[in-house]
Structure 1
């Protein structure tokens, strides 16, 4: 045990030297010595490997590690960027980051600003605004925004917007339309969320036979999915196992 602890400290010291030499953010020093083993592993994944390998997979691993350790970092970074340059792109990024950290009211303010003027019909801006409206309970306006997005971009294939449309119809109590929309989006949505939400709505409204069939479809598809896909969708898969 003392040997392992000494090794952890040596690794942390090596990482700390790397922090200083490469001018990384100094909060890493605290992380490295507050969490001698975990902090070093996260630092290596987040900062060292992406720089050394330069590969997409390494960058993704680093991003995931940073997010797990500090889930609010993206929002803070994005808010700094809009202080530097208040462009529509920076505003949309900040709004999306705030939505991810459950700050929907703040996100709505920025999303409205982003989706204005010359960018009022930009698909990404319109979708982020619709998300913010939904998360703040402005379901009627969210539906109007999604319909406007569909009108402005009739040929766009946007599964996330399609799913949000179904959820908004459900929130407004337009159940038959919501069920039909869930059925449509579930056929091409990446992952089981759309089918799971469809099954949940069927369950709530008493169609347990159809709901069970949807849950079973999720489990059948999951058996052929890679492990990382199963991990990503664990919430819906666990739900399906309980319901099927």
Structure 2
């Protein structure tokens, strides 16, 4: 189950299958245990769900902005963008919502495949704080511009953000943008930049960055030979 969810290096699958229980134990010690320690997912999941149930009851009597924002954050951590967006919308409707509520509502719309809906929230955040969330907001706004066909604005913002940030997610989206424009050389360059960071990363960061490494490899496979 851990291998399917986390998708580590393929050789681990052979270790598990051919060494049997010994291989499984080696895998759990080498991969699953560090994951639990660095992300805390396994330890936080049950308290988080308990807190969600508590907040669902609390907001019935105290529908405050803070309670709805906390509920939305917890839903996002549970990978439930639909209920999370609903909570952030209620927080914003109650007035006094933080800039983070708009940002996270935009993330929910993005995860739900609605870039045009996400775009105004990201624009609001970046207009007020261009470096919000260590420039991730700017990178996501550029990605939304790309997905809604605003290519000039997307490229200009990608150029600006990548001068200040080395986030793999932004590099990957920039590569996807070039790929969609048929600019294969630039797409290859930015996808390779994601993979070039891997050798010098500590183990816990490699585990966290795996989704971007996989997508970068997929882009390189899809591109015609250099």
TM-score, scaled relative to structure 1: 0.62
2:139 is aligned with 1:163: yes
Match of 2:116 in 1: 140
Q: Deviations over 1:69-128 (max 9, x none)?
A: x5x7635523422422543223122223323444333222211111234424x2111211
Shift of 1:156: 4.8
Match of 1:206 in 2: 182
Partner of 1:223: helix, strand, or coil? helix
Partner of 1:150: helix, strand, or coil? helix
The structure with the larger Rg is 1
Structure 1 pair 178/90, CA: closer, same or farther in 2 (3 Å)? Answer: same
Structure 1 pair 156/136, CA: closer, same or farther in 2 (3 Å)? Answer: same
Shift of 1:61: 4.7
For structure 1, the residue ranges without an aligned partner over 5 or more in a row are: 1-37, 47-56
Aligned-residue Cα RMSD (Å) equals: 3.5
Partner of 1:206: helix, strand, or coil? coil
Conserved? CA contact 1:119–1:125, under 8 Å: no
Shift of 1:140: 3.1
Q: Deviations over 1:154-177 (max 9, x none)?
A: 465332322221222122121232
Shift of 1:130: 1.7
Conserved? CA contact 1:75–1:94, under 8 Å: no
Partner of 2:216: helix, strand, or coil? helix
Match of 1:237 in 2: 213
For structure 2, the residue ranges without an aligned partner over 5 or more in a row are: 1-24, 222-226
Cα distance in 1 for partners of 2:39, 2:113 equals: 34
2:164 is aligned with 1:195: no
Match of 1:50 in 2: none
TM-score, scaled relative to structure 2: 0.67
Shift of 1:181: 2.4
Cα distance in 1 for partners of 2:50, 2:210 equals: 28
Give aligned pairs, total: 188
Shift of 1:221: 2.5
Match of 2:151 in 1: 175
